[in-house]
A and B are shown apart, each in its own frame.
Chain A
Amino acid sequence: MVREVKSVPVVGVDRLSKYLTFVLGKEEYGLEILRVKEIIGLMTITSVPKMPEFVRGVINLRGKVIPVIDLRLKFGMAEARDTEETCIIVVDLGETLMGVVVDKVSEVLDIEDTDIDETPSFGVSLDTSFILGIGKSKNKVVILLDIARVLTSEAAQLMGLPSERTHTDS
């Protein structure tokens, strides 16, 4: 079944990688655990004027001021009310740190590369370049994100730069 369809190994070669999974709306997403610096509960976010909607603002992370993105709004989903479970995942982008607001953090999953399928194309209307692939673990389907691409292309757009970025690691 799965093995007959050519699975493109999207991360490394024959590796087992760990992903942090979280919830946005009805879907489950995942990002590489190596990119995760920490997870913090929602705190007061200072808004910054003249920024796109999905930029919530900035927070104080132990003395560093880092920007926070609302991933729902970034993906064009409907805005949701913050709940007790809403948290901020601090992502390490190499040169900078950035926070992403998610509905709920689920767990850390081990997913083998062979269990990751290529992202089906949904047509031109949906940009799927920042999805690493569709991961399957236990009974769940997890949309694995190339979080660096999600966030840096945004930052690049804001700075007026082309969004091609070379990633230092896979």
Chain B
Amino acid sequence: MLSRNNLQQQQETELEIGVLASLVAGLDNRDDNVLGFISNLLERLDRNPGFGEEYHGAAGRALAAINDVVTRNGDFGRAYKEISEAVDSIYRYLACSEGAGCETPRQKQSESVTKAVKEEISQETSLNSESTLFDAANRELCDFISETNEYLDLAEAALLELERSPGSREHIDEVFRCFHNIKGISGFLGLKDFQELAHAAEDLMDRIRSGQAELSGTRAQVTFDVVDVLRSMLMSVREAMSGGEYRAPAALAEIMSRLRDPGESSQSCACSCLQLSAPRTDECAPVKKADEVLRVATARLDALIDSVGELVIANGMVQQEAVSQGKENPRFAANVQRLGKIVREIQEQAMGLRMVSLEATFRKLARIARDLSTKSAVPVNFTFEGEETELDRSVVDEMQSPLVHMIRNAIDHGIEPPEERARLGKPESGNVHIAASHQGGNVVIRVMDDGRGLNKEKILEKAVDRGLVKPGAELTDREIYELIFEPGFSTADQVTEISGRGVGMDVVKRSVDRLRGRLEISVKPGRGTTFSIWLPLTMAVIDGMVITIANQHMVIPSIAIQEFLRPHPDQIRTVNEKGEMVLIRGDLLPMFRLHRLFNLSGANEEPSKALILVITDGDRRCALLVDDVVGQQQVVVKPIGTMFDRVPAVSGASIMGDGTVALILDTAGLLRMAREVRME
């Protein structure tokens, strides 16, 4: 074993091994400079008597091969193999007990990973007891986790592409590269499990790209499974970092043997596989290289954005003052105006910092759709567009689950089995398409399927069954479809493992409400269903309509306002002496007096002298009575504190130009209250 008398020497050696491993990891093709370094390191390590015969032999072969390449233009591939072998033998030796040349059992490897993680952390602390170095070790592991995750994402995306266009050299190379890199960075940190699995997967990809094997059927499934197993191993590392134990997942041993099994033929898998779809028009576009990026801690970014928010408010106040001051001092007015323009630019840029594209989300959905279609034996063609559309990070995060729910519903309930589809004259594969686009200051995400379409009768039946609707009640089509948003509602005949537990659509609605968005349903019975989700671009700033009630300002999100009007006295009707309604172009809408809700006195109580705002959340509508509308403006949203969570109709607060606080009204809450009044 390594001589432990000299701690420094041991540390140096370990450093050299690490450098060697990472050099090898980055070695894509012949680079004489790098090869020079590598042979230098191999020689130095060879001088260490502790590494044993195996390494000595392997190092010798590697050095010879390198020499061959550099001086006689020999086969680089062979040299690479020898070098990898040499590095592997070092690791094998390190993980083993004194020169026994043993085969490391799985458990010992898990132990060695845990040990590696703990050593990584303790090494830093023993060298220097400052806690900042402890953080550095943690950070290294965090970096490893996020880097590996990135490679796994890239590999998965390439694998999905390969299913559409098998044999695409570009994508096979991409997958190879990803596993190769994972092998490298895990080797550098001594995480053996990762290294071995990545190595085996890399080997498989190598066989595929050299034509020795085909990526199809079970082999394709194995590659996806490798991604999954690696992901679960990363979770285990996270646990080890917070003081738990690293445990290799059970699937690891199984998948290692699957990867090694040479008897894999191209037998098609037992279940029906994902149908290959016609290539998209931009199929031939080259795989995008990652843009130049910089890692910034989110906390710093959030702090910056908070400050920008305050800058915007302060600027608003100055602008307001400048209106009166500027009259006497035109130079001042001009300066303030220029300042305002710059502040607006900064605001836009700062908001842009938090924007992420939907690409990662859509790719994840593609993977889920593929897995679901395989599992439920329903062939589904999942496509997406507009993935480059950007949204605020928190909006994208909040929408992950709802979108997954909707895809699940579409595949599990919407798409008919192939025989039924054939009978109906539909293409054998179901189609699920998700599209994102910008529309008038918002982002619209549409989830469409060409399946059965929501079943009106079944929904109504279930709703009556659950007591949500009185039997014999008359509801419009829209209102019937809306019923699926009620908690606990589900029309699945059997609760499948995948969905049908009745928690889907109401969660979606709640998320969309929380984001101050809008959710619409459109159904073509027998032909399919389309869900449209309108989302604001950012949570920090909304486009709002400022209204006044009894000399107090309030803000209603513009996205919710359909129209406003001054009613004629005979447009106002009362129902059962309880609720008021307003007649607008033949439709009776429930009317809500905001001043009553907020207990404000001094408001304009006469509707025909006040203003009515018609608000909607996509499906439901109601009318609000307010004093006046001040105007439309960008409003910075301030959290109002958990203390006010119970308040039904308020979702936040904003600071007006004069420094006062204006409450931001929550349309979903208002509509809910209006509906309760009506349902009585």
Residues in chain A within 8 A of chain B (CB atoms): 44, 46-51, 55, 57-60, 62-67, 96, 155, 158-160
Residue from A46, A50, A64, A66 within 8 A of B647 (CB atoms): A50
Q: Are A60 and B659 neighbours in the complex by a CB distance under 8 Å? A: yes
- What's the Cα separation between A51 and B598 when bound, in Å? 10
Q: Is B427 an interface residue (CB 8 A)?
A: no
B-side contacts of A48, CB under 8 Å: 640, 644, 647, 650, 663
Contact B646 A96 (CB under 8 A): no
Q: In chain B, residues 616-672, which have Cβ atoms closer than 8 Å to a Cβ of chain A?
A: 638-650, 653, 655, 659-663
Q: What residues of A have a CB within 8 angstroms of the CB of B640 in the complex?
A: 48, 58, 65, 67
Q: Is the CB of A63 within 8 A of B313?
A: yes
B647-A65 in contact (CB<8A): no
Q: Are B310 and A50 neighbours in the complex by a CB distance under 8 Å? A: no
Q: Which of B309, B598, B639, B655 lies in contact with A60, CB distance below 8 A?
A: B655
**B597 interfacial contact with A, CB 8 Å:** yes
CB pair B309 A58 closer than 8 Å: no
Number of A-B residue pairs having CB atoms within 8 Å of each other in the complex:
70
Query: Within the assembled complex, what's the spacing in Å between the Cα atoms of A161 and B310?
Result: 32
Q: Do B310 and A62 touch across chains, with their CB atoms under 8 A apart?
A: yes
Q: Is B599 an interface residue (CB 8 A)?
A: yes
Q: Is the CB of A60 within 8 A of B643?
A: no
Give the CA-CA distance A158 to B646 in the complex, in Å: 8
A46-B660, A46-B661, A49-B597 as given contacts; A65 in contact with B653, CB under 8 Å? yes
Contacts A58-B640, A63-B655 known; 17 new A-B pairs at CB < 8 A: A46-B653, A46-B663, A48-B644, A49-B597, A50-B647, A50-B648, A58-B641, A58-B644, A58-B661, A60-B661, A62-B310, A65-B655, A67-B640, A67-B643, A67-B644, A155-B642, A159-B646
Binding site secondary structure of chain B: mixed
Is B655 in contact with A49, judged by CB distance below 8 angstroms?
A: no
With the chains together, A59 CA to B660 CA distance in Å? 7
Report the minimum CB–CB distance from B673 to chain A (whole Å).
11
Cα-based distance from A96 to B662 in the complex (angstroms): 20
B641 touches A66 (CB 8 A): yes
The residue from B638, B641, B659 contacting A67, defined by CB atoms under 8 A apart = B641
| Cα-based distance from A159 to B655 in the complex (angstroms) | 25
Closest A residue to B646 by beta carbon equals A158
- Of B309, B314, B645, B663, which one neighbours A159 at CB under 8 angstroms? B645
Interface centre among B552, B641, B643, B645 (most CB of A within 10 A): B643
Q: How far is the CA of A46 from the CA of B663 in the complex (A)?
A: 8
Q: How far is the CA of A40 from the CA of B653 in the complex (A)?
A: 20
Contact present for A159 and B647 (CB under 8 Å): no
Q: Can you list 30 A-B contacts (CB < 8 A)? A: A46-B552, A47-B552, A47-B598, A48-B650, A49-B597, A49-B647, A49-B649, A50-B646, A50-B647, A51-B644, A51-B647, A57-B661, A58-B640, A58-B644, A58-B653, A58-B661, A60-B655, A60-B660, A62-B310, A63-B314, A63-B638, A65-B640, A66-B641, A67-B640, A67-B641, A67-B643, A96-B641, A159-B643, A159-B645, A160-B646
In the bound complex, residues from chain B placing their C-beta under 8 Å from that of A44 are 660
What is the CA–CA distance of A128 and B99 in the complex, to the nearest angstrom?
A: 73
Q: Which residues of A contact B660 (CB under 8 A)?
A: 44, 46, 60
Does B309 contact A49, Cβ atoms closer than 8 Å?
no
C-beta contact mask, B46-75 vs A, less than 8 Å → 1, else 0?
000000000000000000000000000000
In the complex where A59-B661, A60-B655, A63-B310 touch, is A49 in contact with B598 (Cβ < 8 A)? Answer: yes
Q: Which residues of B contact A51 (CB under 8 A)?
A: 644, 647
Total chain B interface residues with beta-carbon distance under 8 A: 29
Interface residues of B in 305-320 (CB under 8 A from A): 309-310, 313-314
Pairwise interchain contact B642-A159, C-beta atoms closer than 8 A: yes
B655 to A, closest residue via Cβ: A60
> Are A49 and B661 in contact, CB atoms less than 8 angstroms apart?
no
A24 → chain B, closest Cβ, in Å? Answer: 22
Residues of B within 8 A of A57 (CB): 661
**Interchain CB contact under 8 A, B661 and A65:** yes
Residue of B nearest to A59 (CB): B661
B663 partner residues in chain A, CB cutoff 8 A: 46, 48, 58
A168 to B134, CA, bound (A): 26
Tell me which of B643, B649, B653 contacts A155 (CB under 8 A).
B643
| Known A-B contacts A46-B661, A60-B661; A65 and B645 likewise in contact (beta carbons under 8 Å) | no
Closest CB of chain B to A58's CB: distance in Å? Answer: 5
Chain B residues whose CB sits within 8 angstroms of the CB of A159 once the complex forms: 642-643, 645-646
Given the complex of chains A and B, what is the CA–CA distance between A22 and B309 in angstroms? 34
Residues of B within 8 A of A160 (CB): 646
A82 to B309, CA, bound (A): 32
When A49-B599, A51-B647 are in contact, do A63 and B309 touch as well, CB less than 8 Å? yes
Q: Select one of B643, B653, B661, B662 contacting A158, CB under 8 A.
A: B643
The residue in chain B whose Cβ has the minimal distance to the Cβ of A64 is B638
Residue in B closest to A96 when the chains form the complex, CB atoms: B641
* Residues on the B chain within 8 Å of A47, using CB: 552, 598-600
Contact between chains at A65 and B650 (CB < 8 Å): no
A167 CA to B314 CA, complexed, in Å = 35
Return chain A residues, CB-CB under 8 Å to B642. Answer: 155, 159
B478 to chain A, nearest CB (A): 30
Cα–Cα, bound, A155→B643 (Å): 6
Instruction: A144 to B314: give the CA distance in the assembly, Å.
Output: 38
User: Of A49, A62, A96, which is in contact with the most chain B CB atoms at under 10 Å from its CB?
Assistant: A49
Task: List, in ascending order, chain A residues with CB within 8 A of B644's CB.
Answer: 48, 51, 58, 67
Contact between B659 and A65 (Cβ–Cβ < 8 Å)?
Answer: no
A49, B640: Cα distance in complex, Å: 13
Whether the Cβ atoms of B648 and A65 lie closer than 8 Å is: no
A55 CA to B638 CA, complexed, in Å: 19
Complex alpha-carbon distance, A131 and B482, angstroms? 52
Write out the residue numbers on chain B whose beta carbons fall within 8 Å of the beta carbon of A155.
Answer: 642-643
**Closest chain B CB from A148 CB (angstroms):** 14
Expressed in whole angstroms, the minimum distance between the Cβ of B602 and any Cβ of chain A is: 13
Residue of A nearest to B648 (CB): A50
Task: Give the residue among A44, A50, A159 with the most B Cβ atoms within 10 A.
Answer: A50
CA distance A112 to B653 in the complex (A): 42
Cα separation A50 to B597 with both chains bound (whole Å) = 8
- Among A46, A63, A67, the residue within 8 A (CB) of B662 is A46
- Contact indicator B638/A65 (Cβ below 8 Å): yes
Considering the complex, give the chain A residue whose CB is closest to the CB of B594: A49
The docked-state distance in angstroms from the alpha carbon of A66 to that of B499 is 42
B448 CB, min distance to chain A CBs, angstroms? 40
Task: List the B side residues contacting A62 at CB < 8 Å.
Answer: 310
Task: Kindly provide the distance from the CB of A155 to the nearest chain B CB, expressed in whole angstroms.
Answer: 5
Contacts of A49 in B (CB 8 A): 597-599, 647, 649-650
CA–CA, A57 to B552, complex, Å? 13
Least CB separation from B647: chain A residue? A50
Contacts of B552 in A (CB 8 A): 46-47
CA distance A51 to B394 in the complex (A): 29
Alpha-carbon gap, A39 to B123, bound state (A): 50
B338 to chain A, nearest CB (A): 23
Cβ A65 vs Cβ B639 within 8 A? yes
